[in-house]
Amino acid sequence: MPEDDAPAPARSRMPPEERRRQLVGIGLGLLRERPLDAITVDEVARRAGISRGLLFHYFASKQAFHREVAAAGLRRLHRAMWPADERPADERLRGAIDGYLAFVERRPGRVMEMAGGSWSADPELAAILRDARATIADGLLAAADAGRDAPADGPLALLRTQSARAWLAFAEQLALDWVAEPSVEREALVDHLEASFRAATG
pTM, 2 dp: 0.84
Residue 17 neighbours by CB distance under 10 Å: 9
- Is the CATH number 1.10.287 carried by domain 65-201? no
- Residue 150 confidence (pLDDT): 66
User: What does the pLDDT average to over 180-190?
Assistant: 96
Q: Which of 146-150, 180-184, 192-196 has the lowest mean pLDDT?
A: 146-150
**Is the pLDDT reported for residue 149 higher than 80?**
no
CATH architecture of 16-59: Orthogonal Bundle (1.10)
With helix as H, strand as E and coil as C, how does the chain read?
CCCCCCCCCCCCCCCHHHHHHHHHHHHHHHHCCCCHHHCCHHHHHHHHCCCHHHHHHHCCCHHHHHHHHHHHHHHHHHHHHCCCCCCCHHHHHHHHHHHHHHHHHHCHHHHHHHHCCHHHHCHHHHHHHHHHHHHHHHHHHHHHHCCCCCCCCCHHHHHHHHHHHHHHHHHHHHHHHHHHCCCCCHHHHHHHHHHHHHHHHC
Average pLDDT over residues 173-190: 96
pLDDT digits (tens, 9 = 90+) for 71-110: 999 999 999 999 876 778 789 999 999 999 999 999 888 8
Does position 147 have pLDDT exceeding 90, yes or no? no
Per-residue pLDDT averaged across 48-70, rounded? Answer: 94
- Supply the mean pLDDT for the chain: 88
Find the range with the poorest average confidence among 120-124, 133-137, 161-165.
Answer: 120-124
Radius of gyration (C-alpha) of the chain in whole angstroms: 19
The ranges of the chain annotated as CATH 1.10.357 are: 65-201
% of the chain exceeding 90 in pLDDT: 66
Is the pLDDT reported for residue 130 higher than 60?
A: yes
